[in-house]
Amino acid sequence: MSIIGLGIDIIENIRITKIYNKFSHRLPKRILSKIEFDQYQNCKHPVKFLTKCFVIKEAAVKALGTGINNGITFNQFEITNNEVGKPLLKLFNKAHNIAQLLGVRYIHITLTHERLYTCSVVILEN
């Protein structure tokens, strides 16, 4: 196995808070998959949830080497958790197709959420 993609993202939590306060009706639909949107509607800390999703997905598009453009959107990435809370990432549509072309077999994610910042690293392996 070898690393075929690496992405990292860090964001000031206040940035997402400000965007959320201004665009709370549009932001979740731009970032979240349908399943994530259902979770978001029932969560106690919606801004923290959006921040986590945003930073993981931003790191993922960097690992793919695409960024958010040319048909790649944040809702083509879906974050779930395993039974002990480890984040897992599923890809759909064009993001999934690009991952297949690159030979991605494993996706590793790490996430840290502190008072001021949230950071994620995504590693793609074949």
As annotated, the binding site for Mg(2+) includes 9, 58
Residue that the structure tokens 């206040």 belong to: 14
| Nearest-10 Cα torsion for 36, 116, 119, 93 | 30
Rounded-to-integer distance, Cα 49 and Cα 42, Å = 11
Q: Token pair for residue 107?
A: 């996706």
Rounded-to-integer distance, Cα 120 and Cα 107, Å = 13
φ and ψ at residue 72, rounded to 5 degrees: -90, 125
Report the binding-site residues. Answer: 9, 58
